[in-house]
Amino acid sequence: MVNHLPIRELINCGGKLIDLSEPRIMAIMNVTPDSFFQGSRLDSEQAILEKAGKSLEEGASFLDIGGVSTRPGASEVSLTEELDRVLPAITLIKNNFPEAIISIDSWRAEVVKAAVIAGASMVNDISGGKFDSQMWETVGALDVPYIFMHTSGKPNEMQRNTDYKNVSLDICDFFGANIQTLLDHGIKDIILDPGFGFGKTIQQNYQLLHDLPGFRILQCPLLVGLSRKSMIHKVLEISPHEALNGTTAVHMISLLNGASILRVHDVKEANECIRVFSTYHKTNKVSTND
């Protein structure tokens, strides 16, 4: 059962107040040729527009644009190449869906700044500020929400760094030690992402999933990125392409344990999961109050 410590439920995305008291969906938009799930790769303007339109229609609140694969073992791409991938995609989406709320998935401060100028209004930093010393200052100056994720290292090395005393307590301590610094940099809206799959074993990922309610002590909304990841498809001994049913299962566990945002490949199915959860949650709340 999730405890009831207050969470900062309103975030400001480019002047739009988004209420996270009801779970929200972030659609994954990969403008990369090598993302781990082939079905998420967008290699043309038509593919980008079709994915954006379908995601918004099916219930996504945010579109997360990424130009660098962050799968375990992925190679780094140049700054120029990343900019060349994400900026045209952001401009294309904003021109065709001006009300869309776009998140830029990048650990580079220069990419983040250019993306926000182009129309993004949220930053998703898989490095938690570790890979670019200018990130927090940049995000604070841009005055956009910041998804603060934990990882143990860059994608090409992170799975060699999975030694924790207690994975959940260590990550909670990491967040707690840095939240005030983020606030001091002017970052007002902080969303925490424990970083499933980023420098964690399968067992550690499930421990984190079990322990999500404990992160409420930090009083920030939680984002979970579990969609089709190895913690699902390896357990089921299937491919990422076959892992939708398992993804829905862990999404429901995440919602029951207090997640505010699901970052997903499959928006329609995530939305259905949230609708079932919300009905269950409201019914249970009414019964408790009777």
Give the CA radius of gyration of the chain: 18
Return d(Cα 211, Cα 189) in angstroms, integer: 23
Active-site pick, 229, 234, 268, 282: 229
3-state secondary structure of 11: strand
Return d(Cα 126, Cα 142) in angstroms, integer: 18
Q: Nearest 5°: CA angle at 87, between 81 and 91?
A: 155
The answer to whether the Cα torsion of 88, 89, 92, 95 is positive or negative is negative
Active-site pick, 263, 268, 275, 285: 263
The answer to whether 216 is a known catalytic residue is no
Other CB atoms within 10 Å distance of the CB of residue 113: 20
Return d(Cα 204, Cα 200) in angstroms, integer: 6
Return d(Cα 61, Cα 20) in angstroms, integer: 10
Which amino acid is residue 215, in one-letter code?
A: F
Tokens of 250: 């862990």
Return d(Cα 40, Cα 35) in angstroms, integer: 7
**Residues classed as catalytic:** 229, 263
